[in-house]
Amino acid sequence: MHFEPLLLGPGPSNPYPEAVEALARPVLGHLDPEYLALVAETSERLRAVFGTRNRLTLPVSGTGSAGMEACLASLLEPGDLAIVGVNGYFGQRLSEVARRLGAEVRTVEAEWGRAIDPEQLLDAQRAAPQARLVAVVHAETSTGVRNDVAPLHALAGTDTLLLVDTVTSLGGIPVEVDEWGVDACYSATQKCLGAPSGIAPVTLSDRAVERMRARQTPISSFYLDLDLLDQYYRGSPARYHHTASSPLMSAVHAGLGRLLEEGLPAAWERHARVGEALQHALPELGFELLAEKANRLPQLTAARLPGGIDDAPGRRSLREDFGIEVGGGLGPLAGAGWRVGLMGQSARDRSVVTLLGALRSLLG
């Protein structure tokens, strides 16, 4: 008998059943009015989840990294200054992508496992008010750390845009794009949104759209040009840009529907409850949690391994003997720790109980 694997890594998570069922819906053409209506409804659901009224809110074809590149490529021009918060792998990736686009990058860094002080990001902007944007990862997937975004609302009174990575946070913990003054925000569908990978939700504020359209040089990426994508999905008539996947869009639409039916506060509470249960139990088994409690993500736990478990053999045993996938460590955790995700459909008590039983078996 074939059993569905229990996906408890940093992503993908197990999708909601409604999202899986939606993959079997008839394939639609990428300019079919029915498909464009599906995109429009998906965008409206994304506005609710992002906590925004931004007109330019759309699903980009690609993973979360495509959302990152779409935002950076659309907003940065060669020679622009980008201030980037770095306290893990994905802050480093933000910096690298910005550099490849020809931007000057200044980093504000914190130790892996520690949160970035938002005041240091604001100080960096005050010292360089010409900065095009300040970028930070809300939920750093490599360490399980939540960075505080709300204080960065102070940037709304400057000429510097605020860009936030919510790949691992959207749907799992509160994200309030409008309330926090976020100008550009991207996420991914395969984590707390409970859908398959392949779509990157993106939203831009009106002032970010104005900045994008006032740029002096063409956007370096055609495929990830958010202005062209906006014209594709919202033009009258719609303008061909690429052959988007209607089955994936149907799945994301359904996953968002399930999340909104549950209600965001209820979903946040569910993620918090199961995350706390796991984080309470792991130290009792000898695991050492990486993130400090005050800034620890409930949906993604990074922990150093106890003496009785080796990294690769342990993950292989979990996968082959118990049907459970967890993630290996990055940076200082590489080979020495695991990353456990409780996201979307996988954020259940059953996931915690099943994993803990398997870990006790591995530890003998």
- pLDDT category at 91 given cuts 50, 70, 90 is very high
**3-class state of residue 340 by DSSP:** strand
Q: 193-233, pLDDT tens digit by residue? A: 999 999 999 999 999 999 999 999 999 999 999 999 999 99
* CATH, range 6-12+263-363: 3.90.1150.10
- Token pair for residue 158? 């400057």
- pLDDT category at 235 given cuts 50, 70, 90 is confident
Q: 330-348, pLDDT tens digit by residue? A: 998 999 999 999 999 999 9
Q: Which CATH number fits domain 18-260: 3.20.20.80, 3.40.50.300, 1.10.3470.10, 3.40.640.10?
A: 3.40.640.10
**3-class state of residue 190 by DSSP:** coil
Which helix (H) or strand (E) segment holds residue 56: the answer is strand 56-61
Q: What pLDDT does 238 receive?
A: 83
Is the pTM higher than 0.85? The answer reads yes
Q: 103-148, pLDDT tens digit by residue? A: 999 999 999 999 999 999 999 999 999 999 999 999 999 999 999 9
285 pLDDT above the threshold of 70: yes
Q: What is the mean pLDDT of residues 229-244?
A: 90
Domain range list for the chain: 6-12+263-363, 18-260
Q: What pLDDT does 2 receive?
A: 59
Cα atoms in the Cβ-side hemisphere of radius 13 Å centred on 9: 17
- What are the C-alpha distances in Å from 220 to residues 135, 211, 215, 216, 280? 19, 15, 11, 12, 47
- How far is residue 97's CA from residue 92's CA, in Å, rounded to a whole number? 9
Q: What is the mean pLDDT of residues 82-88?
A: 98
